[in-house]
Structure 1
């Protein structure tokens, strides 16, 4: 098990998400009572209060709503600067996302409104995390 990466806390509320990433699926929590999607996950539906939750597999595409370039402090297991975006997923939820392959500065840096697709960062046998990138063929 890798010890140089900050590992997420896996709970009953989010275990489906990490089981999905291990299978290369981006899963979004869904209320089985009213159908509302939500991220991050939680125990009760914010729309109807039901505790009956499930999930759907997201398409894995999103649009940059906002972003930051993290330059300090150092994050264990990460090389700085680190580009972090808030993405609007096609399914209607927002997700905080690490972005790879995008310069932190300059004309080829990330832009609000830009489309990104999910990819997978395999940390070790027990942990795979979503990481976002430009679609193939997009500006470099």
Structure 2
């Protein structure tokens, strides 16, 4: 598996994920309070270094996706075909997170058939631990 590189700016994101929370970095300097991802030390809007981590609902919709085709990295070839999705967060439409659409938190990457992945489909974040890192993944939101 490809594991994320956890730097000082992004460490809180991964710590909250380990607790089962999706939080996004925000400027803590009123009136800006702009959400930003990926995390970074300075607000790109007002240039403040004051930050906070806001809890999100974890709801969103698929903004884009891809179904990778061979040749694949050997660690992923056995789970093909699988998806990689880009999720637009419901309460922060300019924030988009990359992940996988799965049938359940601990399901294999190929647990959702490629023909079920649709742009605009509503999704909910779930978390699973893989190789010591808690990753956000996505499941289809039930009506």
**Length-normalised TM-score, structure 1:** 0.83
Return 5+ residue gaps in structure 2 as ranges.
Answer: 104-111
RMSD: 1.6
Q: 1:71 aligns with which of 44, 69, 72?
A: 69
Post-superposition shift, 1:48? 0.7
Post-superposition shift, 1:76? 5.7
Partner of 1:30: 26
Q: How does 1:44-55 map to 2 (within 5 A)?
A: 44-55=42-53
**Length-normalised TM-score, structure 2:** 0.82
Q: How does 1:39-118 map to 2 (within 5 A)?
A: 39-75=37-73, 77-78=75-76, 79-92=79-92, 93-101=95-103, 102-105=112-115, 109-118=116-125
How many residues are treated as equivalent by the alignment? Answer: 129
List 4+ stretches of structure 1 deviating above 3 A: 75-78
Partner of 1:18: 14
Greater share of residues in helix: 2
